[in-house]
Amino acid sequence: MSNILGELMGAIASGGVRIVDLTQTLDTDTPIIPLPEEWAGTKPFTLEEISRYDDRGPAWYWNNFACGEHTGTHFDAPVHWVTGKDYENNTTDTIEPERFIGPAFVIDVAGKVAEDSDFLLTPEYVQEWEKEHARIEADSWVLVRTDWGLRKGDDYLNLSEDGAHSPGFHPDCVPFLAQERDIKGVGVETVGTDAGQAFGFEPAFPCHTLMHGANKFGLASLTNLDKLPPTGSVVIAAPLKIIGGSGSPLRVLALVPGA
Ligand code: MN
Protein backbone atom coordinates (compact mmCIF):
# COMPACT_ATOMS: atom_id res chain seq x y z
CA MET A 1 0.00 0.00 0.00
CA SER A 2 1.28 3.46 -0.80
CA ASN A 3 2.40 5.62 2.07
CA ILE A 4 -0.48 8.03 1.85
CA LEU A 5 -3.18 5.35 1.87
CA GLY A 6 -1.36 3.33 4.52
CA GLU A 7 -1.21 6.40 6.71
CA LEU A 8 -4.92 7.00 6.16
CA MET A 9 -5.83 3.41 7.10
CA GLY A 10 -3.63 3.66 10.18
CA ALA A 11 -5.23 6.94 11.17
CA ILE A 12 -8.74 5.49 10.81
CA ALA A 13 -7.75 2.44 12.88
CA SER A 14 -6.20 4.59 15.63
CA GLY A 15 -8.93 7.25 15.72
CA GLY A 16 -6.62 9.87 14.27
CA VAL A 17 -9.21 10.17 11.53
CA ARG A 18 -12.83 9.60 12.57
CA ILE A 19 -15.65 8.59 10.23
CA VAL A 20 -18.86 10.56 10.82
CA ASP A 21 -22.01 9.18 9.21
CA LEU A 22 -24.08 12.05 7.78
CA THR A 23 -26.92 9.72 6.73
CA GLN A 24 -30.47 9.38 8.06
CA THR A 25 -31.83 5.82 8.38
CA LEU A 26 -34.23 4.89 5.56
CA ASP A 27 -37.51 3.89 7.16
CA THR A 28 -41.13 3.62 6.07
CA ASP A 29 -41.82 6.92 7.85
CA THR A 30 -38.91 8.76 6.16
CA PRO A 31 -40.44 12.10 5.14
CA ILE A 32 -40.81 12.72 1.41
CA ILE A 33 -40.84 16.08 -0.31
CA PRO A 34 -44.35 17.59 -0.37
CA LEU A 35 -45.50 18.96 -3.74
CA PRO A 36 -48.73 20.71 -4.78
CA GLU A 37 -51.38 18.28 -6.07
CA GLU A 38 -50.97 19.21 -9.73
CA TRP A 39 -47.48 17.68 -9.79
CA ALA A 40 -46.58 13.99 -9.51
CA GLY A 41 -45.08 13.03 -6.18
CA THR A 42 -42.46 10.49 -5.19
CA LYS A 43 -43.00 7.05 -3.67
CA PRO A 44 -42.07 6.78 -0.01
CA PHE A 45 -39.59 4.14 1.11
CA THR A 46 -41.15 0.69 1.49
CA LEU A 47 -39.59 -2.58 2.57
CA GLU A 48 -40.96 -6.03 1.72
CA GLU A 49 -39.44 -9.15 3.20
CA ILE A 50 -38.64 -11.88 0.65
CA SER A 51 -37.53 -14.53 3.12
CA ARG A 52 -35.99 -14.77 6.58
CA TYR A 53 -34.47 -18.23 7.22
CA ASP A 54 -37.91 -19.73 6.67
CA ASP A 55 -39.83 -21.82 4.14
CA ARG A 56 -39.48 -18.97 1.63
CA GLY A 57 -35.69 -19.32 1.85
CA PRO A 58 -34.30 -21.51 4.62
CA ALA A 59 -30.81 -20.06 5.07
CA TRP A 60 -31.11 -16.45 3.95
CA TYR A 61 -32.74 -13.13 4.78
CA TRP A 62 -33.39 -10.42 2.19
CA ASN A 63 -35.85 -7.69 1.28
CA ASN A 64 -37.21 -5.84 -1.70
CA PHE A 65 -37.26 -2.11 -1.23
CA ALA A 66 -38.85 0.68 -3.26
CA CYS A 67 -38.55 4.44 -3.13
CA GLY A 68 -38.04 7.46 -5.31
CA GLU A 69 -34.57 8.62 -6.26
CA HIS A 70 -35.07 11.63 -3.97
CA THR A 71 -35.96 9.85 -0.72
CA GLY A 72 -34.21 10.21 2.61
CA THR A 73 -30.56 11.22 2.59
CA HIS A 74 -30.03 11.55 -1.14
CA PHE A 75 -27.96 13.00 -3.97
CA ASP A 76 -29.28 15.48 -6.57
CA ALA A 77 -27.53 15.19 -9.94
CA PRO A 78 -27.42 18.14 -12.35
CA VAL A 79 -29.91 16.39 -14.69
CA HIS A 80 -32.51 16.55 -11.87
CA TRP A 81 -33.38 20.09 -12.94
CA VAL A 82 -34.28 21.36 -16.40
CA THR A 83 -31.50 23.93 -16.11
CA GLY A 84 -28.91 21.12 -15.83
CA LYS A 85 -30.34 18.73 -18.41
CA ASP A 86 -27.87 19.44 -21.24
CA TYR A 87 -24.55 18.98 -19.43
CA GLU A 88 -22.42 15.97 -20.32
CA ASN A 89 -22.02 13.35 -17.60
CA ASN A 90 -24.86 14.85 -15.57
CA THR A 91 -26.52 11.61 -14.39
CA THR A 92 -25.73 9.34 -11.46
CA ASP A 93 -24.11 6.72 -13.73
CA THR A 94 -21.98 9.13 -15.76
CA ILE A 95 -20.66 11.66 -13.23
CA GLU A 96 -16.90 11.13 -12.88
CA PRO A 97 -16.34 9.39 -9.52
CA GLU A 98 -13.62 11.85 -8.45
CA ARG A 99 -16.33 14.47 -8.25
CA PHE A 100 -18.07 12.68 -5.36
CA ILE A 101 -15.21 13.39 -2.93
CA GLY A 102 -14.21 16.80 -1.64
CA PRO A 103 -13.34 18.99 1.32
CA ALA A 104 -16.30 20.16 3.39
CA PHE A 105 -16.97 23.69 4.61
CA VAL A 106 -19.63 23.59 7.30
CA ILE A 107 -21.56 26.79 7.91
CA ASP A 108 -23.43 26.73 11.22
CA VAL A 109 -26.71 28.65 11.16
CA ALA A 110 -28.49 26.51 13.77
CA GLY A 111 -28.89 29.47 16.13
CA LYS A 112 -30.52 31.59 13.40
CA VAL A 113 -32.82 28.74 12.37
CA ALA A 114 -33.93 28.22 15.99
CA GLU A 115 -35.23 31.81 15.88
CA ASP A 116 -36.64 31.67 12.34
CA SER A 117 -37.63 28.45 10.53
CA ASP A 118 -37.57 30.36 7.22
CA PHE A 119 -33.97 31.55 7.68
CA LEU A 120 -32.12 32.01 4.36
CA LEU A 121 -28.37 31.90 3.98
CA THR A 122 -27.11 35.04 2.23
CA PRO A 123 -23.79 35.72 0.47
CA GLU A 124 -23.06 38.34 3.15
CA TYR A 125 -23.47 35.73 5.88
CA VAL A 126 -21.14 33.36 4.03
CA GLN A 127 -18.51 36.08 3.59
CA GLU A 128 -18.65 36.89 7.32
CA TRP A 129 -18.21 33.17 8.00
CA GLU A 130 -15.20 33.12 5.66
CA LYS A 131 -13.56 35.99 7.58
CA GLU A 132 -13.83 33.94 10.76
CA HIS A 133 -12.84 30.54 9.32
CA ALA A 134 -11.45 30.25 5.79
CA ARG A 135 -12.28 31.11 2.24
CA ILE A 136 -14.42 28.37 0.67
CA GLU A 137 -12.31 26.39 -1.79
CA ALA A 138 -13.22 25.50 -5.35
CA ASP A 139 -14.63 21.99 -5.79
CA SER A 140 -15.68 21.71 -2.14
CA TRP A 141 -18.91 20.64 -0.50
CA VAL A 142 -20.66 23.46 1.35
CA LEU A 143 -22.76 21.96 4.13
CA VAL A 144 -25.24 24.07 6.05
CA ARG A 145 -25.77 23.04 9.65
CA THR A 146 -29.28 23.93 10.77
CA ASP A 147 -29.90 21.12 13.30
CA TRP A 148 -33.02 20.41 11.21
CA GLY A 149 -31.94 16.78 11.09
CA LEU A 150 -32.71 16.49 14.82
CA ARG A 151 -36.41 17.25 14.22
CA LYS A 152 -38.90 14.38 14.48
CA GLY A 153 -42.34 13.72 12.97
CA ASP A 154 -44.36 16.64 11.62
CA ASP A 155 -41.75 19.15 12.81
CA TYR A 156 -39.42 17.95 10.06
CA LEU A 157 -41.49 19.10 7.06
CA ASN A 158 -43.05 21.83 9.24
CA LEU A 159 -46.07 22.23 6.93
CA SER A 160 -48.59 25.05 7.24
CA GLU A 161 -51.53 26.01 5.02
CA ASP A 162 -49.13 28.18 3.01
CA GLY A 163 -46.59 25.41 2.50
CA ALA A 164 -43.49 24.19 4.30
CA HIS A 165 -41.43 26.41 6.57
CA SER A 166 -37.82 25.30 6.56
CA PRO A 167 -34.50 27.06 5.99
CA GLY A 168 -32.55 27.31 2.75
CA PHE A 169 -30.56 29.56 0.46
CA HIS A 170 -31.32 33.14 -0.49
CA PRO A 171 -31.51 33.37 -4.31
CA ASP A 172 -28.38 35.59 -4.27
CA CYS A 173 -26.39 33.00 -2.33
CA VAL A 174 -26.53 30.26 -4.95
CA PRO A 175 -24.73 32.13 -7.78
CA PHE A 176 -22.20 33.29 -5.20
CA LEU A 177 -21.40 29.70 -4.19
CA ALA A 178 -21.70 28.21 -7.69
CA GLN A 179 -19.80 30.86 -9.66
CA GLU A 180 -17.70 32.98 -7.31
CA ARG A 181 -16.61 30.02 -5.18
CA ASP A 182 -17.10 27.33 -7.85
CA ILE A 183 -18.08 24.72 -5.27
CA LYS A 184 -18.92 21.08 -5.99
CA GLY A 185 -22.34 21.29 -4.41
CA VAL A 186 -24.32 21.99 -1.29
CA GLY A 187 -25.56 19.73 1.49
CA VAL A 188 -28.46 20.45 3.82
CA GLU A 189 -30.37 18.79 6.66
CA THR A 190 -33.83 19.57 5.25
CA VAL A 191 -35.88 17.34 2.91
CA GLY A 192 -34.61 19.20 -0.16
CA THR A 193 -31.88 21.75 -0.90
CA ASP A 194 -34.34 24.63 -1.27
CA ALA A 195 -36.16 26.45 1.51
CA GLY A 196 -39.73 25.40 2.31
CA GLN A 197 -41.11 28.61 0.79
CA ALA A 198 -38.80 28.57 -2.26
CA PHE A 199 -41.63 27.85 -4.71
CA GLY A 200 -42.45 31.55 -4.38
CA PHE A 201 -38.89 32.89 -4.76
CA GLU A 202 -37.48 34.60 -7.84
CA PRO A 203 -36.38 32.35 -9.42
CA ALA A 204 -38.53 29.59 -7.94
CA PHE A 205 -36.44 26.89 -6.23
CA PRO A 206 -33.23 28.91 -6.65
CA CYS A 207 -30.90 26.24 -5.29
CA HIS A 208 -32.13 23.60 -7.72
CA THR A 209 -32.42 26.06 -10.61
CA LEU A 210 -29.05 27.77 -10.23
CA MET A 211 -26.92 25.03 -8.63
CA HIS A 212 -27.88 22.36 -11.18
CA GLY A 213 -27.86 25.05 -13.87
CA ALA A 214 -24.15 25.41 -13.01
CA ASN A 215 -23.60 21.60 -13.20
CA LYS A 216 -23.33 21.30 -9.40
CA PHE A 217 -24.71 18.73 -6.96
CA GLY A 218 -27.05 18.67 -4.00
CA LEU A 219 -27.22 16.55 -0.86
CA ALA A 220 -30.46 16.57 1.13
CA SER A 221 -31.66 15.17 4.46
CA LEU A 222 -28.18 15.02 5.97
CA THR A 223 -27.68 14.67 9.71
CA ASN A 224 -24.83 14.89 12.23
CA LEU A 225 -23.49 18.12 10.74
CA ASP A 226 -23.08 19.25 14.37
CA LYS A 227 -20.29 16.64 14.62
CA LEU A 228 -18.19 18.26 11.89
CA PRO A 229 -15.60 21.02 12.29
CA PRO A 230 -16.15 24.18 10.20
CA THR A 231 -13.20 23.23 7.97
CA GLY A 232 -10.80 20.33 7.60
CA SER A 233 -13.09 17.36 6.93
CA VAL A 234 -13.55 15.43 3.69
CA VAL A 235 -16.94 14.20 2.48
CA ILE A 236 -17.57 11.17 0.28
CA ALA A 237 -21.01 11.15 -1.34
CA ALA A 238 -21.34 8.61 -4.15
CA PRO A 239 -24.88 7.90 -5.40
CA LEU A 240 -26.11 4.55 -6.72
CA LYS A 241 -25.17 3.99 -10.34
CA ILE A 242 -28.74 4.16 -11.65
CA ILE A 243 -28.79 4.42 -15.44
CA GLY A 244 -29.78 7.96 -16.34
CA GLY A 245 -30.46 8.58 -12.65
CA SER A 246 -31.43 12.05 -11.44
CA GLY A 247 -30.25 11.20 -7.94
CA SER A 248 -30.37 8.41 -5.41
CA PRO A 249 -30.41 7.61 -1.73
CA LEU A 250 -26.83 7.19 -0.56
CA ARG A 251 -24.55 6.83 2.43
CA VAL A 252 -22.69 10.09 3.06
CA LEU A 253 -19.47 9.75 5.05
CA ALA A 254 -17.23 12.45 6.45
CA LEU A 255 -13.57 11.89 7.35
CA VAL A 256 -12.76 14.13 10.29
CA PRO A 257 -9.41 14.76 11.98
CA GLY A 258 -9.47 13.16 15.44
CA ALA A 259 -8.58 14.79 18.73
MN1 MN B 1 -33.60 15.80 -4.38
Residues 28-49 pLDDT 10s: 999 999 888 899 999 999 999 9
Q: Ligand 1 centroid vs 131 CA: distance in angstroms?
A: 31
pTM, full prediction: 0.97
Closest-CA residue to 92 (of 109, 74, 104, 107):
74
pLDDT in the model for residue 123: 98
- What are the tens digits of pLDDT across the range 170-228? 999 999 999 999 999 999 999 999 999 999 999 999 999 999 999 999 999 999 999 99
Taking 70 as the threshold, does the pLDDT of residue 259 lie above it? Answer: no
Taking 80 as the threshold, does the pLDDT of residue 1 lie above it? Answer: no
pLDDT in the model for residue 20: 98
Residue 232 CB-density burial (10 A; 0-12 exposed, 13-18 middle, 19+ buried):
middle
- What are the tens digits of pLDDT across the range 102-118? 999 999 999 999 999 99
Degrees to nearest 5, angle at CA 100 with 80 and 87 = 40
Q: Ligand 1 centroid vs 30 CA: distance in angstroms?
A: 14
Closest-CA residue to 42 (of 80, 88, 89, 90):
80
What residues act catalytically? Answer: 80
Q: Ligand 1 centroid vs 4 CA: distance in angstroms?
A: 35
Q: Ligand 1 centroid vs 12 CA: distance in angstroms?
A: 31
Q: Ligand 1 centroid vs 219 CA: distance in angstroms?
A: 7
Q: Ligand 1 centroid vs 26 CA: distance in angstroms?
A: 15
Residue-wise over 95-118: b if at least 16 C-beta within 10 A, else e? beeebbbbbbbbbbbbeebeeebe
